Amino acid sequence: MVQMKINEELCIGCGDCAADCIHQILELSDGIPTMISDGINNCIQCQHCLAVCPTGALSIMGLDPQNSLQLPADVPSSKQMENLIKSRRSTRQYRQENVDAETLDKLLKIIAYAPTGMNRQKVLLTVVNDIDTMSILRQRTYSAIQEKIDSNASLSEKQKWLVDYINGWQNGADHIYRHAPHIVIASAPRGIGTPLADCVIALSYFELQAASMGLGTTWCGLAIMSLNEFAPDLLTELGIPADHEVGYMMLFGEPTVTYHRTVQITSDRVNFPKLNKI
């Protein structure tokens, strides 16, 4: 419930909360922030008013500003962020063991802070957190592909392309899931306006935070195609709502490979346009 409270003993009447409100639903009355009439219906619950208050005088949605991380905090330097981004690699070699539950729980709680369109916060992260469940998902995916082949049914061009991975599976290779112990599937309701963008943003945050914690990840488009084309029922069994769009999937786990340097990528794919005045 959206409910704003002001500690008038702490409030200095600076107006920062009103100035930063995206929908301008706050105003100062006798130097104290108040919500305008019907403002509650336009609040997107972004908590910017709580975050921008220099004295911690404002509470909204029943949240205590003292429970927030106080800024400036110990954040990475620009160089540290650069190193993290440059050193991130797609991991296709994993330890056959579960990621520590405490580590995974911490990772997922951090990812909740990923931004979403209009702050809707509707992204669902479906996490296969058990290596045995992951093994079943892997086996059933390949079995579904094999069943389609055995049925002699006509195959779409995309299905024909995925069929090639059956030969590898029969010889001990796993080109779809890369023998990863875990997968996270990001989905969101189709009707929210930005379901795909929200999912990709969430997994981008997941990827970088995982890298900082020593975990490996891989964006897994092959899993999306395989499940959509051959085993859509598995998505339902995994608990993904029927009204959700699957934005993307990401493999993750403890890596068995160590990279000793970054790759070298050029940055010339940039466009700086100019427009003519009218």
Q: What is the 3-state secondary structure (H, E, C) of 106-137?
A: HHHHHHCCCCCHHHCCCCEEEEECCHHHHHHH
pLDDT tens for each residue of 101-114: 999 999 999 999 99
pLDDT score recorded for residue 135 = 98
pLDDT score recorded for residue 177 = 98
| Matching CATH number, 79-253, of 3.40.109.10, 3.40.980.10, 3.40.50.720, 1.10.340.30 | 3.40.109.10
Residues 240 and 137: beta-carbon distance below 8 Å: no
Domain with CATH 3.40.109.10 in the chain: 79-253
pLDDT level of residue 158 (50, 70, 90 thresholds): confident
| pLDDT of 213 over the 80 cut | yes
Beta strands 244-253 and 58-60, pairing class: unpaired
pLDDT level of residue 189 (50, 70, 90 thresholds): very high
**Least confident piece of the model among 28-37, 141-150, 156-165, 169-178:** 156-165
pLDDT score recorded for residue 178 = 98
Residues 6+ apart with CB under 8 A from 223: 141, 176, 177, 183, 249, 251
Domain with CATH 3.30.70.20 in the chain: 4-67
| pLDDT of 148 over the 70 cut | yes
Q: For residue 56, which amino acid is it?
A: G
pLDDT level of residue 27 (50, 70, 90 thresholds): very high
Q: Can you name the CATH fold of 4-67?
A: Alpha-Beta Plaits (3.30.70)
Q: How far is CA 178 from CA 93, 126, 182, 218, in A?
A: 7, 19, 10, 9
| pLDDT of 99 over the 90 cut | yes
pLDDT score recorded for residue 1 = 65
Query: What does R_g of the chain's alpha carbons equal in angstroms?
Result: 24
| pLDDT of 2 over the 90 cut | no
Closest among 141, 123, 104 to 253, alpha carbons compared:
104
- Mean pLDDT of the 224-248 span: 97
- Mean pLDDT of the 237-249 span: 98
Question: Cα–Cα distance between 132 and 230 in angstroms, integer?
Answer: 21
pTM of the model: 0.93
